[in-house]
Amino acid sequence: MNTQITSSLYDQCIATYNTEQKEGTLAAIRKQAFTSFQKNGFPSTKVEDWKYTNLKPFIQDNLQLVYGETSTALTKEIIESALIPGLDAYIVVLVNGQLQKTLSHQINEKGFTLLPILEATELPAFQQHFGKYTDVTKHHLTAVNTALFKDGLFVHLTKSQVVEKPIHIIHVSTAKTDFFTQPRYLYVVEENARLKVVETYITTTQVKAVVNQLTEVFVGKSANFQQYNIQTGDANAHFIQHTEVFQETTSVYNNYKFSMPGISFLRNNLHIALDGEHIESHMYGLYLSGGAQLVDNHTIVDHRKPNCQSNEHYKGVMQDASTGVFNGKIFVQEDAQKTNAFQQNNNLILGDKASVNSKPQLEIFADDVKCSHGSTIGQFNNEALFYLKTRGIGDEKAKTLLVQAFAFDVTDKIPDESIQDFVNGLIEEGLK
């Protein structure tokens, strides 16, 4: 079998599962996930999906499975420093996935529900969608999360409701010893509803944090869901984020993903199933890596029905000795005639020891489709750099201008100006 087992963390996971209650709504789903984890363990680089990303150095035996808040007292100041200037949003603070009511806004919007995930298990919308879009037998880490999660959120917006203000979720990771968390999220955006979520991250520890996050998203008929994910953090942070999106007819889903230097290890899986007609899905990604960072983006776009459009543009800038991975798969199933699928991955290598592995893949089973994909890897245009310098612009600023220009195709797609400014600021910061 193509797997490896890191014994004591593995044993800890098994023991934790065995001591838990095995009744209620989640029992069957958890059991299936647990069986899968028991069999497969953590992935090694022999697993195709993890070929360029070795998890082994990060999934170590000394990690403790941690739930909820454990140590640091979070202050208002810490939260305020995590806000996006100029963005009028509802603030939701989570510590290791656990909702912090005193630090979060009360959201009174018609048809809107936001609950700790285990408090939502009896709700019809939860039962209808939870666990439906994630294959725990296929993805090792989703099995771990499904078997063991206790924290996270259930976010629900009912039919035809609109929440104008974005929900800004601030994820805080913290513990006293090296730790491993399993936050779990389910977003249900029903027919014709519109919702915007912005996620940012803080790590407030001197210990190693490995966060195995799983998010499921349901976007109902004609609904519109915008999801921003701005990943920042320090060298203690190790994030594995798996997102499964399921879209119905004429819905729109946009995913904006910005990964910044600092975080040691980042693995993003973004899977979108277009399960209806006239669906639009947009994925915009920018990864700016530095130091010895590893940033890995795996995306799957699954066109299942006719007349849909998907558009994916990921851009990477690798500094120092960092590594980038981009793996983008597009499936166009037999039924999915008149599909329009576009994928582009451009990379700029700035560091002498930096590298990138880019692998675009198209699998088309329909015959009347428009699909394109492309991948480029390049270096700084020295002529452009010289030109800027001859106008008195210093080396650092000239490089920032050129990287911002390179990222422009992606950052320009951010409809909200304060988020755009925030991201451009992070780029400038990330190049220092």
Partner 1 sequence: MLSIKNLKASVEGKEILKGLNLEVKAGEIHAIMGPNGSGKSTLASVLAGREDYEITEGEVSFDGKDLLDLSPEDRAREGLFLAFQYPVEIPGVSNINFLKTAVNEVRAYRNLAPLEGKEFLSTLKDRQKLLEFDASLANRSLNEGFSGGEKKRNEILQLAMLEPKLAILDETDSGLDIDALRIVSQGVNKLRSENNAFIVITHYQRLLEHIVPDYVHVLYKGKIVKSGTKELALELEEKGYDWLKESQAELA
Interacting residues with partner 1 (CB under 8 A): 381, 383-384, 386-395, 397-398, 401-402, 404-409
To the nearest whole angstrom, how small is the minimum distance from the Cβ of residue 349 to partner 1?
Answer: 18
To the nearest whole angstrom, how small is the minimum distance from the Cβ of residue 405 to partner 1?
Answer: 3
Geometric angle at alpha carbon 313, from 311 and 316, rounded to 5°: 165
- Run of H or E including 389: helix 382-389
To the nearest whole angstrom, how small is the minimum distance from the Cβ of residue 393 to partner 1?
Answer: 5
DSSP secondary structure, 100-162, as one string: -GGGS-----TTEEEEEGGGSTTSHHHHHHTTSS--TTT-HHHHHHHHH---EEEEEE-TT-B
Nearer to partner 1, 363 or 395 (CB): 395
To the nearest whole angstrom, how small is the minimum distance from the Cβ of residue 391 to partner 1?
Answer: 4
Nearer to partner 1, 124 or 392 (CB): 392
Q: How many CB atoms lie within 10 A of CB 5?
A: 14
To the nearest whole angstrom, how small is the minimum distance from the Cβ of residue 411 to partner 1?
Answer: 9
To the nearest whole angstrom, how small is the minimum distance from the Cβ of residue 414 to partner 1?
Answer: 14
Which amino acid does the sequence have at 299? Answer: T
Nearer to partner 1, 335 or 396 (CB): 396
d(CA 345, CA 312): 8
Q: How many CB atoms lie within 10 A of CB 107?
A: 15
Q: Do 293 and 287 touch, CB atoms closer than 8 A?
A: no
Nearer to partner 1, 179 or 287 (CB): 287
Nearer to partner 1, 265 or 284 (CB): 284
Nearer to partner 1, 230 or 402 (CB): 402
d(CA 281, CA 302): 10
Q: Do 176 and 76 touch, CB atoms closer than 8 A?
A: no
Nearer to partner 1, 282 or 399 (CB): 399
To the nearest whole angstrom, how small is the minimum distance from the Cβ of residue 382 to partner 1?
Answer: 8
To the nearest whole angstrom, how small is the minimum distance from the Cβ of residue 412 to partner 1?
Answer: 8
d(CA 244, CA 197): 15
Parallel/antiparallel/unpaired status of strands 209-219 and 194-203: unpaired
Q: For residue 366, what are its two tokens?
A: 């329909």
Nearer to partner 1, 391 or 432 (CB): 391
- For residue 307, what are the contacts with CB-CB under 8 A and spacing of at least 6? 277, 278, 337, 338, 339
Q: Do 52 and 322 touch, CB atoms closer than 8 A?
A: no
Nearer to partner 1, 28 or 384 (CB): 384
Nearest alpha carbon to residue 196 among 163, 173, 218, 244: 163
To the nearest whole angstrom, how small is the minimum distance from the Cβ of residue 406 to partner 1?
Answer: 6
To the nearest whole angstrom, how small is the minimum distance from the Cβ of residue 346 to partner 1?
Answer: 12
* 254 DSSP 8-state letter: E
Nearer to partner 1, 102 or 390 (CB): 390
Geometric angle at alpha carbon 103, from 98 and 109, rounded to 5°: 90
